Amino acid sequence: MLQSHVNGKSYAKGSTNNIQLVSRFRSLRKENLHCATFKANIISIPYTRLISGADCSREIEEGFGVNGLGILAISNVPDYVLARKSLLPLASKFAALPEEVKAKYVDEASFFSFGWSHGKEKLSHNTPDIFKGSYYANPLIDKPSCTTSQLAKYPYYFQENIWPKNEVPELEYEFKKLGKIICDTGLLLANHCDRYICQHLPTSTSFPPPNEATPYRGVREILHRSEIYKARLLHYFSAVELQKEVSSHSCTGNKLGNTNPVSQKKEVDSIESNTWCGWHYDHGLLTGLTAAMYLSQGKEVPNPDPKAGLYIKNRRGNVVQAFLPMDSIAFQVGEALQVASGGLFQATPHYVRSADGPEAASISRNTFAVFMQPSVDEIMVIPSGISSSSVAIGKWQKNMSFGDFSEKTFKSYYE
């Protein structure tokens, strides 16, 4: 999932008539987009095995290693199924609120990275992404501790959570509940990542690392020190909803995009070549992700299009459609984990393809992602004995903080 915490140039301004854009987008020939050549179930580890102390190195390597898809699933996590079922429909409930109500929960000061965000994120060529809306919050801490300078430099990490206590009062509780389940599970997985990395370092070390002089800094410890986790509740609008959204924005004068027909043509061409949000990498340590929920008129329905879902490009350049069971949490490798592991784990480019066809016209898609990431002042170091070239991330530099790495990431996506 693309994390859309943004700098000052990452959001859309101006106005447009998006009716033609919506119509054209929905009629695009999907076969002209990137098509999967393979299908695969995500490598899975049962939760009981995760907490038992069993050796999960085989699954870790198959999922996160250089020949893997950069993703693992944890199955049968306690309380997860009910928490997912309780939260995901709330994305539709909030998205259906009147525009003037949703506007109360838009936080421009954080560059739309807390509260509601719709039409602010960009596709390629400065195309405003009107096809999905997001509700952002820190799932663990309403107001992370920070200095004045940190707040000024990183408002997208340190602003205070915003909750629609009157309109959707249950959102805060359900958001935090599912967020904590995913974070706790991710920390357990991080323990196994640490064991695997320690076993494969050129300079052998024990696990857990014995002291500060160890050649490896544990992923779990880096995560434990951080207060800037961010979660994103996503609502992908159905074609029917999009028409209403565009009309509503037009009536309130809060239109999206631009009116130039030449620019509009470029927008459509951009969508045609890059799908919903284009290929991208996550830049944190771990991204926890739920299976999507499809809804029609408030009721859960099956996925209307077997080609819809998560697509990942492996190291051989093959595009793989990855399947995640509804009872499992997926965890994807971020670029920060690629650095921390010295390249043992590999982040992979991925995108989400929307459902297509007449049956999908009235069906929306909801999901939830948790970005588990280091503190902004955490220095991104590789284990000793590992060559910098093994990391293979161009924007990473020695002695770079995660905050600076984030800034470079946002610029690469949004400028």
Q: Which residues contact 404 (CB under 8 A, 6 or more apart)?
A: none
Asked whether the predicted pLDDT for residue 221 surpasses 90, the reply is: yes
Asked whether the predicted pLDDT for residue 228 surpasses 80, the reply is: yes
Torsion sign (Cα): 382, 392, 352, 228: positive
What does the pLDDT look like over 95-108, one tens digit per residue? 999 999 999 999 99
Q: pLDDT band at 242, cuts 50/70/90? A: confident
Q: Which residues contact 121 (CB under 8 A, 6 or more apart)?
A: 2, 4, 6, 10, 11, 12, 112, 128, 129, 134, 277
Contact 22, 242 (CB under 8 A): yes
Res 111: pLDDT: 87
Calpha distance 312→69 (Å, rounded): 7
Torsion sign (Cα): 77, 78, 81, 87: negative
Calpha distance 2→289 (Å, rounded): 12
| Phi, psi torsion values for 161, nearest 5 degrees | -60, 150
**In the chain, domain spans:** 19-414
Which helix (H) or strand (E) segment is 259 a member of?
Answer: none
Pick the range with the lowest mean pLDDT from 24-33, 172-181, 348-357, 390-399: 24-33
Task: Count Cα neighbours of 29 within 13 Å in the Cβ-side half-sphere.
Answer: 2
> Considering just the CA atoms, what is the radius of gyration of the chain in Å?
21
Site of tokens 């987008």? 25
Site of tokens 């323990």? 191
Q: Which residues contact 205 (CB under 8 A, 6 or more apart)?
A: 198, 214, 215, 216
By C-alpha distance, which of 166, 158, 164, 163 is closest to 109?
A: 158
Which tops the pLDDT comparison, 139 or 36?
A: 139
Q: pLDDT band at 82, cuts 50/70/90? A: very high
| Phi, psi torsion values for 348, nearest 5 degrees | -125, 145
Question: What's the topology of domain 19-414?
Answer: Jelly Rolls (2.60.120)
Any idea of the CA torsion for 183, 187, 188, 191, to the nearest 10 degrees? Answer: 170
Calpha distance 269→61 (Å, rounded): 38
Q: Per the omega criterion (within 30 degrees of 0), is the bond before 208 cis?
A: yes
Asked whether the predicted pLDDT for residue 167 surpasses 50, the reply is: yes
Q: pLDDT band at 144, cuts 50/70/90? A: very high
